[in-house]
Amino acid sequence: MGASFAELLQTAPVILGEGAVIERLRREFAVELHPELVNAAFVYEPAGRAALETIYRQYLAAGEHYRLPMLLSTPTWRANRERLARAGLADRDVNGDNFRFLDALRRSYGPYAGQIFICGLLSCRGDAYNPREGQSTEAAREFHRFQAEALAAAGVDLLLASTLPGCAEAAGLAQAMAATGLPYIVSFVIRPTGTLLDGTPLHRALAIIDDAVRPRPLGYLVNCSHASIFRRAICQPGNDLPAVRARLLGLLANTAALSPEELDEHPELVTEPPDDFAAAVAALHAEFGMRLLGGCCGTDGRHIAALADRLATLIRR
């Protein structure tokens, strides 16, 4: 496929991330999310598969048009062994089939396919907004090993554990991903005060994982947080150090400046105009050197296209 994702991080000024997937499936498409697997089984259903393809192609169109390298995530956020068993799909390679679905989309983009990277997506075992449901590091390493190995065996370019509320489970996830031999990224949900949801300062969480896991992550992301929250968090004492910011790759941003608890309980989608979103997120590249930027809750194809436009303008001046 050409350059690895690790090499891309060394050479590309910016990498475009995708936007919301699960949130859009819930609100825009007439498909019902699975109670256990959310969207991971949609590759087996015509309507769900078509909805996924529509969403991913909108994001890919933005990357292709503005000639930006792009990172896509497999729809496997909840496809761990425990949930697959409860869904009656323990005998199917759900993680691998989701990668092959995205890989087929990638191959359809001709020369641009070489700039599209696919990460195998994992997350915490429990509620991503409730750190009290988090696992110990040892328990997380064993629990997440199955999914990390399944995604690695399928052929993903790298692994990503996202929407993580606590440090201990994140460390175990990092160990499970590191053991596959693939490069990997760890992504947290944070508060404006500069901590994870479990209260661990962001800089401390990065140091704990970097010190304890070999090979260490390619870097760290924040997701499911508004750009204004990210900005406040990384300007907190300890997080504002050059060594800490050098390990931060960027943000997959929400369109609402709400706390996780407010987002979780909000009955309606809270969004902002695509141009406002794009300006706030692109500024993180201009001011702090963040290189991997995309969307999370509230975003759609318009937001990612506006962001791609802003980023392309910044790097080509």
Report how far Cα 170 is from the mean position of its chain's Cα atoms: 14
Q: Between β-strands 292-295 and 158-164, what pairing exists: parallel, antiparallel or unpaired?
A: unpaired
Please compute, for residue 156, the number of CA atoms within 13 A of its CA located in the half-sphere on the CB side: 34
Report DSSP state, residue 255.
S
Report how far Cα 149 is from the mean position of its chain's Cα atoms: 18
DSSP 293-309: EEE-TT--HHHHHHHHH
Q: Which residue in this structure is represented by tokens 């499970």?
A: 176
Determine if residue 124 is labeled as part of a ligand binding site.
no
Which are the contacts of 294, defined by CB distance < 8 A and separation ≥ 6? 16, 17, 18, 19, 71, 250, 251, 252, 253, 304, 307
Determine if residue 235 is labeled as part of a ligand binding site.
no
Q: Between β-strands 219-226 and 15-17, what pairing exists: parallel, antiparallel or unpaired?
A: unpaired
Contact assessment for residue 254 and residue 296, using Cβ atoms and an 8 Å cutoff: yes
Neighbours of 309 (CB within 10 A): 18
Contact assessment for residue 218 and residue 161, using Cβ atoms and an 8 Å cutoff: no
Contact assessment for residue 130 and residue 164, using Cβ atoms and an 8 Å cutoff: no
Contact assessment for residue 54 and residue 63, using Cβ atoms and an 8 Å cutoff: no
Tokens standing for residue 288: 């702090």
**Binding-site positions:** 224, 296-297
**Binding-site positions for Zn(2+):** 224, 296-297
